[in-house]
Amino acid sequence: MTLALDLPLRTERLVLRLARDADVDDLLSYRGDPEVCRYLPFPPQGRDDVVSRMAQWLEAAAAGPDADLDSDWPLTLVADLDGRVVGDVMVRLKAGPARSIAEVGWVFSPTVAGRGLATEAARAAVDLCFGPLGCHRVAAQLDPRNTASARLCDRLGMTHEAHLRQDWWDDGAWTDTAIHAVLRAEWVTPSRR
């Protein structure tokens, strides 16, 4: 099945689109940064890793959400700011016939931190979940020490639902996980913001 979504998504300042080969250097510049990856479930990425992940993103996008209902379906879009990729957002539809629970994630370059760009991209990702993808719940999982990400969840209007203690083995130590989520009925659509 081909992707039925109306991509790219456009926000006030960003174009959220599928990745292209020419994006590798931009992606590497922040996904290869140990500080950026500090609270992410993967180590800093090298070129080969970025290239193979990009191929996986495109393959999943091309397969579409209905290809394999027994597996999660991930969609990763890069955030293009005036021709440069400055971050990426991920939507993961959970397995199951209803496909109405999503997880979202975000990784942005520190070169654009503090301008609200990640929030802008994340809002568009949640809009996508509650709009075309028809979700009823959108959640984010994070290391509770990741306070910048927790503030982003707050800006999205998510509720801090849970704090799971020592449920993730992270490079030699158990770490906690925070779960933040918003329900369809709580989501403030762009026109009501």
Q: Which residue is nearest to ligand COA (CB)?
A: 116
Residue placing its CB nearer to ligand COA in the complex, 64 or 148:
148
> Judged by CB under 6 A, does residue 146 bind ligand COA?
yes
- Based on the shown chain and the rule CB under 6 A, indicate whether residue 11 belongs to the binding site for ligand COA: no
Does residue 148 belong to the site contacting ligand COA (CB under 6 A)?
A: yes
CA–CA separation, 149 vs 40, rounded Å? Answer: 11
CB within 8 A of 86, min separation 6: which ones?
26, 30, 79, 80, 108, 109, 111, 112, 117
**For residue 142, how many other CB atoms are within 10 A of its CB?**
21
Q: Which of 93, 102, 149, 181 binds ligand COA (CB under 6 A)?
A: 149
106 binds ligand COA (CB under 6 A): yes
Residue with Cβ nearer ligand COA (66 or 145): 145
- Please say which residue, 151 or 160, places its beta carbon nearer to ligand COA: 151
> 137-142 and 101-108 as β-strands: parallel, antiparallel, unpaired?
parallel
Helix (H, G, I), strand (E, B) or coil at 151: helix
Verify binding: residue 27, ligand COA, rule CB under 6 A.
no
Beta-strand relationship, 15-17 and 9-10: antiparallel
Contact between 100 and ligand COA by CB under 6 A: the answer reads no
Say if residues 163 and 141 touch (Cβ distance below 8 Å): no
Please report how close the Cβ of residue 73 comes to ligand COA at its closest, in angstroms. 19
**Does position 116 bind ligand COA by CB under 6 A?**
yes
In total, the chain counts a number of residues equal to 193
Note whether 90 binds ligand COA by CB under 6 A: no
- Phi then psi for residue 24, to 5 deg, are -55, -45
Residue 36 contacts ligand COA per CB under 6 A = yes
Q: Residue numbers of the site for ligand COA (CB under 6 A)?
A: 36, 39-40, 105-108, 113-119, 142, 146, 148-149, 151-152
